[in-house]
Amino acid sequence: MAKFELKLPKMGESVAEATITNWVKNVGDTVEQDETVVEVATDKVDSEVPTEVSGKIIEILFQKDDVVQVGQTIAIIETEGSDDVTETVTATTQEDAPVEKVENTVKQAQEAVSSADFGSSDKFFSPLVKNIAKEEGISIDELEKINGTGKDGRITKTDILDYVKNRGSQPAVTTPQSVATPVSSVVPATKAAPVSVNGQDEIIEMDRMRKMIAHHMVQSVQTSAHVQSFIEVDVTNIVNWRNKVKNTFEKREGEKLTFTPIFMEAVAKALKDFPMMNISVEGDHIIKRRNINLGMAAALPNGNLIVPVIKNADQLNLVGMAKAVNDLADRARKGKLKPDDTQGGTYTVTNVGTFGSVFGTPIINQPQVGILALGAIRKVPAVIETPEGDFIGIRQKMFLSHSYDHRVVDGSLGGQFVQRVAQYLESFDPNRDV
């Protein structure tokens, strides 16, 4: 019998830890390869951790609500079969272990590590898949291109063996890895739950996500010196153009064309014009972000909020932007977002007009320095200037509300940025092809 260490996998750039929210399997339960063992949560996204092997769970090292670092062992699974099954070495190397055996183990580990650097990939590969790739000389670039049939597109043993066709896999090299021992934490004094005075009020405890949102919002207000600029925009040309092309667009692309990608496109252009809005603050340092990654605040069915990110938004055309917006919004509603989908944002846009709000004063998504709220589009009477004189007409208008961090963004920059967004929207070509 072999013992396999189930570790918390890498779940995305800058994600260093996760909280265990639910053990789907318990000690003594049998599990199949790629079956979910535990559910974890990062700052905003819930994920499932599957096992890479079949066997029986003999030990669970962390309990519900424990915080686990990426790479730490969270459970031990006993597997059947010979040493050909991927097996990790426990950290309880006894002092009286033969020196020769330890030296051989270290040598094998060095050979395995030197063959490939799979840690450079954002994708999760099981130890078995990585060992087969090393033995077959498959590079990390090749491995990332293999279509996985496992859960969430993960590459299984069958997938990689099919890739190398009739070439047989050789015995895997074991790598010594340590079994993490959970650090006991001091249990904080629990606060007494509020009590209904009249016996009729309902006391509802915040769920995990609502607690994190509350913490982030308070932290942002305490961190940034929030100030706002507002500007009214005439979007009549955009409304008329969208009404004209939306049916054709949906038939051709299989996607609905909303106003959001049009606004996102204008924001991305304005950020290129004003790169000092595309920054973040760390202590006394300003970090000028090279990539323009737009966060898109989305309301969830349970009333909570999440901010998926459109990466390199300035490089997308309108069709690409529409597809990215629809995909993230759909997966957010279904709870299918991955940790990477909410990481790396450099500026955020929130559409308060969805609920009929004319404008708002949004709170900055730290460590960014700005957030733009899109108000509801309304038909309003407006003065229209012509060579023949001014007259009153009905126009489609909306407000843009720009919140920015006065620590590093003064009123001049904050005002010019939102003005530039308005200029891009008002100069929208009504004859544009899509």
Residue positions annotated with a catalytic role: 406, 410
What are the tokens at 234? 């005439």
Q: How are beta strands 347-350 and 294-296 bridged, if at all?
A: parallel
What single letter denotes the amino acid at residue 387? P
Please report which helix (H) or strand (E) contains residue 330, including its range.
helix 318-334
DSSP type of residue 89: B
**What whole-number distance in Å separates Cα of residue 267 and Cα of residue 248?**
25
**What whole-number distance in Å separates Cα of residue 126 and Cα of residue 48?**
14
DSSP type of residue 169: P
- Return the residue matching tokens 């509603």: 333
3-state helix vs strand vs coil in the chain, percent to 5: 30, 25, 45
Measured over the CA atoms of residue 43, residue 45, residue 46 and residue 47, the dihedral's sign is negative
Measured over the CA atoms of residue 201, residue 203, residue 204 and residue 210, the dihedral's sign is positive
**Of residues 8, 9, 43, 48, the one with CA closest to residue 25:** 48
